[in-house]
Structure 1
Amino acid sequence: MNSDDIDLAYKIRHALNENLDNLPASTTERLAAARAQALARKKAEAPARRDERRGGFDVRALFAMPMLGRLAVVAPLVAMVAGLVGVYQAEHEQHVGELAELDAAVMSDELPLTAYTDSGFKAYLVQQEQQPKRAQ
């Protein structure tokens, strides 16, 4: 079957589906009988055609592929997962490094650690930010 035959079949199917309720009962019975005959004549080993226009992915087709074809499908997925894991690890290490720098700054500061938890300390910092800087 060439592409023109397939297009014609889709157009006929679409027209029949649109007017299915308007068809007489005798016509629908004849169409059902013709479909049953066509299915009976269909070769048993020929796989049913999939509607290519709808898209989608047939998992059974993946297992019917040769090994090289499977690798062509699976390799990009594995690479994508590995890339995502690498990005996650890099972001995590960067976050841990930033926390370590903050901890080192707090520990090396002259203020006692309890000063950071004091509610008055936050008010003091806000007040210091609002005052204009003096020229030194």
Structure 2
Amino acid sequence: MKHPHTPTEQDVDRWGQHFSRQLTLAAADLPHDISERLRVARQLAVAQRKPLVQSRLANNTQINSNGTLTAPADEGLNLWSILASALPLLALVIGLMAIQWIQQDHITSEIAATDSALLTDELPPDAYTDAGFAHFLKQSLGHPTSHD
């Protein structure tokens, strides 16, 4: 079974150093104005780079006396994170209520159709308790026939 190799920070640094050496070798053949523009662009990129993730993680963790690491006491639970975690639950409840309402409406319309068939037809009520006739009635309600 093959495990995908995820590059570590050291791998990324190694690749960056390799590419930097290759670019430095190729930069010797460039004209002076292009090399100056590249130098300025490199300085801007270094000035705007993001801080290292490792240093941020090191600042946020504490080493206890027993050697375990703990996260900071502030879990970052603010109003927006609470609302964001409650939003899926709210969507689920609204969806379940909508399904219940639709099913209730469907059941009500079936009962109304049966009642109207009972009231407008000349059959005895005992005919509606027969399972075969109930099936026939459901099919005939889908394709109404004209009565004389």
Instruction: Give the TM interval when normalised to the shorter protein.
Output: 0.3 to 0.5
- Give the number of the structure whose residues are more often helix, by fraction: 1
Q: Report the TM-score when normalising by structure 2.
A: 0.38
Structure with greater contact order relative to length (CA < 8 Å, sep ≥ 6):
2
